[in-house]
Amino acid sequence: MNSAIALVLVFVIASALRDVYLGEIFQRLEFFAVVLTAFSLTTVIFMGFLLIRGRSQIAAMRAAWREIVVTNFGTAMAWLSYFFALKLLEPAVVNMLHIGIGPIALIALNLAGIHISGPAVVQKSELVVQGGIVLSLAALGAIVLLQLSGLAGRTASQNLLGIVLALASGVLIALTTDVTKRLNGMGVSAEGVLAVRFIGIVLVAALVVGFRGEKSAIAFEALWPVAAASLVFMVLPLYALQLGVARTSTISVWVVISLSPVCIFAAQFIDGRLTQSPFTLAAIIAYSVLALGSNYLRNFETQPA
């Protein structure tokens, strides 16, 4: 296993704990206040690193301002959609829909001749596997709509909205991650990307919290655990992911990330809101086997995607 894949695996394991934690937190605390806390910490840490050790990259960032604007827009839309989906659906379901659709979107664009960070070779056998993944995602959507997932008490409209948001977040974050790979090629390091990537979502969350005033306030006793969890489950894993993105293709990154639904399903045992649905587990296992097959076919190539 090469270092890029190991770094992405760190992100996968941490993300499993993050999603279960946030899925429960969003039921108790104000949504945008939690988002503001989590992403402000990430931005401040890496902005400080950039100002102290990465000033030489500022010129590269100025030249890449269009990519930075696109990255901020896509990141904000993706994460807000993902977190709203976590409020509505079982975390493992949200994650599988989110990551499963990512490589499919990139491969579809690649076949259409649209390349964000560069072309990638897609084998015919891989297309067959990705077709199976599409079917597994459809099956999972049906499980949710039939009220067979591990989170009960949601209406049909809530379940449908959660599915749409999870899929939209996956497409948006896949495309945005490919843009960040282009930034890496333009001389912006992983630290530099993380310093500027979340400015948009921080501004949106700050505006909403400021507009709502006391309605969005979180007591310090509730705030510091969110900040601590953000450091462990977001800041460090996101850094590991960005390093991995810089060292291998975007499609390979997303195939490795496809292992996370299994990790999240296991982590859900600590969330008392959820039951362990055998239907969700079956869909996750089918998806994971197919994703591993895709991973094998791609063989963790290190050529640009």
Q: CA-to-CA distance for 171 and 9, rounded, in angstroms?
A: 20
Q: CA-to-CA distance for 176 and 116, rounded, in angstroms?
A: 9
* pLDDT for residue 298: 62
The model carries a pTM of 0.84
* pLDDT for residue 304: 39
What average pLDDT does range 147-170 have in this prediction? 94
Alpha helices in the chain (DSSP H): 3-25, 31-53, 58-63, 65-88, 91-111, 124-145, 156-185, 190-196, 199-212, 220-230, 236-247, 250-257, 260-267, 278-298
Scan for tokens 């899929």, then name that residue.
167
DSSP state, residue 56: G
| Top-confidence residue, 116 or 71 | 71
Residue 129: pLDDT band with limits 50, 70, 90: confident
* pLDDT for residue 302: 43
